[in-house]
Amino acid sequence: MRATCPQHVLVRFGWLLDDSADGVLGRFLSRAKEPGELLLADDRRGNPTPVDDAARVIISVIKQLDCEAPLWGTYHYAGHEATTPLALGQALLTEARLLHPLAIESPTAQAHAARPDAAEEPQHAVLACKKILHTFGIKPRAWRAGLPSLLDRYYRHV
């Protein structure tokens, strides 16, 4: 893409969280409704990013490009504060329990290498967002702050 089209803007996002049933959040909450063990990696790191925050970033970039500013390139954006799937799961359970009963009390730690998706998912997926901050003035927002509205939308649609 970059070689074919030098005037491009690519935005790479952290772990996207949306309110769909088949997204990361929906699959996690479906598993949390059922009794049993919920295994999550405790040594994989990344930045969760609610989709409404990603949409805000896309709109901000487009508005600045619309002013004919030559800001071509590849950018990273992700929610503030890197975390593990285990810590993300604990945060989701804490917030989700305020809205809906769940069978799982707490997820169980599992090594990244033991996960069935270890070959597809990088162990280190933390994104540096300095370029998008310095170029467009877009600061990462805390992903935890987006969980209540995301969970509210999810439970209204399931």
Tell me the H-state helices in 21-79. Answer: 24-33, 51-65
Question: For residues 98 and 37, what is the distance between their CA atoms, to the nearest angstrom?
Answer: 21
- CB atoms under 10 Å from CB of 84, counted, come to 17
* pLDDT one-digit tens code per residue, 90-100: 999 999 999 99
**How does residue 66 score in pLDDT terms, banded at 50, 70 and 90?**
confident
Give the residue with greater pLDDT, 41 vs 65: 41
Within its chain, how far is the Cα of 109 from the centroid? 19
Instruction: Give the pLDDT mean for 122-147.
Output: 95
The structure's pTM equals 0.90
Domains of the chain (ranges, CATH numbers)? 9-153 (3.40.50.720)
